[in-house]
């Protein structure tokens, strides 16, 4: 597992840096939350670390506190958007699981009934 390096070609690094527009709904010193451009639920927000890591396991390894902050930020957004106690948090990891952007991101989905198992 390699240490984080900022990536010039990374879409989410550019959103974090303000170089690409996004609808930011929550931000702290370590994480940024913005609306997904292709929402899969009435609320679909991505919460990302400001540092570049390829996936959730790398965040947990290198910045365990940030991992906790990602979940805390997701809960804060869920609270703001009044989901009650029901929402879904997802880290797609690897292309076979649907990961398309290789900067770790936590999906927050809510605002409709969410079935299980997912596809």
Please name the residues in contact with 43: beta carbons below 8 A apart, sequence gap of 6 or more: 77, 78, 81, 83, 87, 108, 109, 110, 111
Backbone angles phi, psi at 36, to 5 degrees: -70, 135
Secondary structure string (H, E, C) spanning 38-60 = CCCCCEEEEEEECCCCCCHHHHH
- Residue 118 contacts ligand AMP per CB under 6 A: no
Please, which residue, 11 or 27, has the CB nearer to ligand AMP?
A: 11
**Residue 28 or residue 99: which is nearer to ligand AMP going by CB?**
99
User: Is residue 36 at the binding interface for ligand AMP, with CB under 6 A as the rule?
Assistant: yes
101 binds ligand AMP (CB under 6 A): yes
Q: What are the catalytic residues?
A: 105
Residues near 71 by Cβ (< 8 Å), separated by ≥ 6? 89, 106
Rule CB under 6 A: choose which of 100, 116, 117, 119 binds ligand AMP.
100
Minimum CB separation of residue 62 from ligand AMP in Å reads 19
Residue ranges binding ligand AMP (CB under 6 A): 11, 20, 22, 34, 36-38, 46, 92, 98-101
């Amino acid at each position: 597992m390699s240490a984080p390096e900022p990536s010039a070609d990374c879409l989410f690094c550019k959103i974090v840096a303000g170089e690409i527009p996004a609808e930011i709904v929550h931000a702290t010193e370590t994480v940024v939350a913005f609306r997904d451009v292709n929402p899969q639920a009435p609320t679909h927000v991505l919460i990302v670390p400001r540092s570049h890591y390829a996936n959730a396991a790398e965040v947990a390894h290198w910045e365990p506190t940030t991992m906790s902050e990602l979940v805390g930020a997701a809960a804060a957004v869920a609270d703001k958007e009044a989901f009650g106690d029901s929402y879904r948090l997802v880290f797609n990891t690897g292309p076979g699981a649907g990961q398309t952007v290789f900067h770790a991101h936590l999906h927050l989905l809510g605002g409709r009934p969410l079935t299980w198992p997912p596809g």
